[in-house]
A and B are shown apart, each in its own frame.
Chain A
Amino acid sequence: MSSAGDISAREQYQAVLRARRRREALVTAFIHAGLILGAVVSIYPLVRIFSVSLRPGDRIISTDLSLIPAGASFISYLQVLRDTNFLLWLWNSLVITSATSVIGVALAALGGYAFSRFRFPGHKAGLAFLLGNQMIPAAMLLLPLFLMIMKLGLVNTYMGMIVAYSVTSLPFSIWILKGYYDTIPRSLEEAALVDGTTRFGAFVRIILPLSTPALAIAFLFNFTQAWNEYLVARVVLTDARMYTWTLGLFELQGQYLTQWGMFAAASIMVTLPVLAVFLYSSKWLMSGLTLGGVKG
């Protein structure tokens, strides 16, 4: 009697298990389908642009959808490098973006720490102000930003662009870093203070090394923002020698004729630095570094 009961209980249990496995497999399949669709939607335009960049000049407007077009060549790449100031634009972008990222992250690292660790008059209001700042569209800031940069005599300078970009990315970076610092137990800094560091020493030796994932995210954010920015650059930079690649690329678009092949080739080339920075930063993005230092 009892053994028959056992068998039926076991069968029931296995049936429940099987049903659960089927459900999990279905959910996994749905999630994967969604992710694959997302990946395709993201990557397809890039693939099309790459395809266009390989087309010979007389087939730019072709409706052919093949990935590698007939008569594919890298001639557009050569033309961009040879016939335009592309390398100069790239250099300008690189200088402005690198400086923006480094300065932006350095300022945000300190600002975020102050907001995370100290209570001072205006603490809450400051945080709210930073967040509110993010809600204002860039176009609205354009005029005041330009006026300030003009008054500071920074029009057509790297410094003007660096200041404009650093300050516009700062609120978001501060929020990211403040949030991350909040997860690092204060006792780590206190232990460092007792061990013999100053407050700043504890920040540099303990907090910063533990914050690399957040610092990497802030750096990437600053980098991609500055790298892809067009509007502010259009207003602040009028001298063609100071153009960033976004302005330079626009030059390729003529009133009657757009060099789509060169445009596409340049577009592909400007994604390479961002890709490199992303791949390099990915090793800093690993999380869980703080685990195990203190009791959870």
Chain B
Amino acid sequence: MATVSLRNITKRYNDNEVLHDVSLDIGDREFMVLVGPSGCGKSTLLRMVAGLEEISEGEILIDGRIVNHLPPRDREIAMVFQDYALYPHMTVEENMSFGLRLRDMPRAVIEERVAEAAGILQIKPLLKRRPRQLSGGQRQRVAIGRAIVRKPKVFLFDEPLSNLDAKLREEMRIEIAKLHQRLHTTIIYVTHDQVEAMTLARRIAVVNSGRLQQVGPPEEVFCRPANLFVAGFIGSPTMNFFSGELLDEGDGPLFRNPAMSVRLPGLAEGEPPKAAVGVAGRPVVIGIRPDDLAAGGPEAPGPLRGTIEVVELLGHRRNLHLKVGKYDMLATVDASFEGRPGDQVSLRLDPARVHLFDEPSQARIALAG
């Protein structure tokens, strides 16, 4: 059990800086998910914790000890790789016991630990097989088993589910969640899949272009995204964004662009931060999650009016792809809504659920309430 601290981590390949001054504290037994698009630097960050990449600047501490110059074997970590990385010439049992054998553990202890991990992961019948005789899901279990037997201080997962098909991915996700509840070990988990991040994490760290964008519990990242990138990346389907200006007309701030005007609740105290301009005329972007929109007939009241372009039935919900003025918009409404392409609809929304962002800095402007 251990804490992991990243302090002002920078990574450069020649002159190309891929991580910029990243600092992050991961608590004991915490399940921290690093999420971000491909190439954002999240895997590099994980590999630096593992000791597989050199650190250009900054410090990494595991349990308060600086590990910058320790080789991977001395960091008391275990890692599950995206491509499983099972040793093809060894049986499942040999794969799992490899790390223990290297540490000259007594045979009885090795057998006990392998049996225990195999029991947890339900791979006991596979112990004598070689990796090529296993399915993708089984290989991933073995890879996790190989990490578990070591009883490391920290587990590192590098996109462990991205090679599995959708159904298996869901199963393994639940397995990993159960595993964390059972083992209570610090886990750092890298993924580009925001659903994995939302469902597994105790805290999420959103990374983009080598910078931490926001760190917080899943609800916070979802409900109060720190900036436009986080708002767009977290949540499926993606949030709708509209540019416009913020006006102050006495009864509180009003968002307006040629296609819509939305009355917003008052700004939170102290907002907008570092106001270079006043509220009036400030260029802003509003974000509306498709789930927060409700559709009604053309006569129904609502601040937005649009034309349906495409309707997708998802089962209990229906995706409406709309044109609102010159803007594209997606609304996810109840499946009972009967609208067809070409129909006019009015859209209602709860102003308290609108997200407001400063356009130049892309940062969130907090609303009251």
Contact = CB atoms under 8 A, between A and B. Distances in A.
Contacts of B51: 193-194
B102 interface: yes
Contacts of B83: 185, 187, 294-295
Interface stretch (B131-139, B193-201, B275-283): B131-139
Contacts of B50: 190, 194
Contact of B132 (A191, A209, A292): A292
B79 interface: yes
A210 interface: yes
Given A197-B102, A292-B133, A206 B163 contact: no
Nearest to B147: A194
A188 B95 CA distance: 11
Given A292-B133, A292-B134, A193 B52 contact: yes
B85 A209 contact: no
B98 interface: yes
Interface in A179-200: 185, 187-188, 190-198
Given A190-B81, A191-B81, A290 B88 contact: yes
Contacts of B130: 292
Interface in A201-215: 201, 206, 209-210
Interface in B79-109: 79, 81-89, 98-99, 102-103
Contacts of A195: 73, 78, 98-99, 102, 146, 150
B85 A293 contact: yes
A196 B103 CA distance: 7
A181 B132 CA distance: 19
Nearest to B50: A194
A216 to B, nearest CB: 15
B85 A291 contact: no
B85 A190 contact: yes
Contacts of A194: 50-52, 72-73, 77-79, 99
Contacts of B88: 188, 210, 289-293
Contacts of B77: 194
A201 B87 CA distance: 14
Contacts of A294: 81, 83-86
Nearest to B86: A293
B71 interface: yes
B182 to A, nearest CB: 22
Given A196-B102, A198-B71, A295-B163, A191 B87 contact: yes
A193 B85 contact: no
Q: Which of B52, B133, B134 has the most CB of A within 10 A?
A: B52
Contacts of B84: 293-295
B132 A193 contact: no
Interface string B20-53: 0000000000000000000000000000001110
Nearest to A190: B52
Nearest to A197: B102
Contact of A187 (B78, B85, B98): B85
Contacts of B78: 194-195
A10 B82 CA distance: 47
B74 to A, nearest CB: 9
B147 to A, nearest CB: 9
Contacts of A290: 88
A193 B72 contact: yes
A197 B163 CA distance: 27
Nearest to B163: A295
Contacts of B163: 295
Interface string A247-271: 0000000000000000000000000
A185 B132 contact: no
Contacts of A210: 88-89
Contacts of A206: 87
Q: Which of A188, A209, A290 has the most CB of B within 10 A?
A: A188
Interface string A150-193: 00000000000000000000000000000000000101101111
Contacts of A295: 82-84, 136, 139, 163
A188 B79 CA distance: 12
Q: Which of B82, B88, B103 has the most CB of A within 10 A?
A: B88
Q: Which of A194, A196, A198, A210 has the most CB of B within 10 A?
A: A194
A195 B52 CA distance: 12
Nearest to A193: B72
Nearest to B79: A194
Contacts of A196: 73, 99, 102-103
A77 B134 CA distance: 55
For the complex of A and B, the 5 pairs showing the least CB-CB separation, nearest first, are A292-B132, A293-B88, A195-B99, A294-B83, A187-B85
